Amino acid sequence: MLQIDALPAFSDNYIWLLQDTTQKRCAVVDPGDAAPVLDWLNQHPDWVLSDILVTHHHFDHVGGVEQLYEKTGAKVWGPALENIPARHVALNDNDQINVLGHEFKVFLVPGHTLGHIAYYHADASAPLLFSGDTLFAAGCGRLFEGTPDQMHHSLSRLAALPAHTAVYCTHEYTLSNLRFAVAVEPKNPHIAARMAQVTAWRAEGKISLPSSIALELLTNPFLRVNETSVKEKADEWSKQDNDSPSAVFASLRSKKDTF
């Protein structure tokens, strides 16, 4: 089983560090800054960085890739449809890769960017997902390049994964996302409970991740667009009848952009 830790970067990014403790080999996901990874490697001089996984091309996810490759020779995996520095292997939808002896499936999940991918490890007892900036804890990424239809489809695909899938996104946005979720569904007890828990965690300096697909289905408005209460709020905000789940999503995402 992989050990996974978060290396904080910038103001609210996490670089996920995957560790094979038997072989003392590690991999990182979306290293926007090389420094936190190099600091960890300096503190663990008998460890080897073997792989770098990239979800999309934004600088806060790829800024450290080239330096890490030059220092370690790690293999760089990234989306085929985007320009990723130092990339060795270009990944397409449904590709299967092996990292640290574990199989990962690649999902193309456009919306935040057009070529964004996610990495899914289908372990029966502990499946996990590295979702980048597509699915956040209680939220989703902004639509910088894709359409609402694309993002809704991408999120629906991730929402269909096993409920106990651990979700490792790349930003500590959970509290602000939950504030929006409360505005969408003020009577949702699961959102209220999660807000209280995450508020306490952050006050103690604890991170709010990973999440799970089950928790997202209960508390993430962008995965709950089929709920009557969510549609009603979207209709109220957009002053129109949003006649499809994708239209409800578009209304919510537009509101979140200015919330």
Question: How many percent of the chain have pLDDT more than 90?
Answer: 98
Selected catalytic residue, list 51, 56, 57, 152? 56
Per-residue pLDDT tens digits for 204-236: 999 999 999 999 999 999 999 999 999 999 999
DSSP state of 171: B
Catalytic site includes residue 133: yes
Label residue 193 by pLDDT band (50, 70, 90). Answer: very high
What is the residue whose two structure tokens read 């969510």?
230
Label residue 91 by pLDDT band (50, 70, 90). Answer: very high
Catalytic site includes residue 58: yes
Selected catalytic residue, list 33, 51, 112, 121? 112
Judged on CB neighbours under 10 Å (0-12, 13-18, 19+), 175 is middle
Label residue 251 by pLDDT band (50, 70, 90). Answer: very high
The closest of 188, 77, 46, 250 to 242, measured between CA atoms, is: 250
Selected catalytic residue, list 20, 30, 33, 133? 133
Label residue 1 by pLDDT band (50, 70, 90). Answer: confident
Selected catalytic residue, list 20, 33, 51, 61? 61
* Chain mean pLDDT for the chain: 97
Catalytic site includes residue 60: yes
Q: Which tokens belong to 132? A: 């980048």
Selected catalytic residue, list 60, 116, 121, 152? 60
Kindly tell me if the per-residue pLDDT of 58 is higher than 90.
yes
Give me the pLDDT at residue 14, please. Answer: 98
Total Cβ atoms within 10 A of residue 59: 11
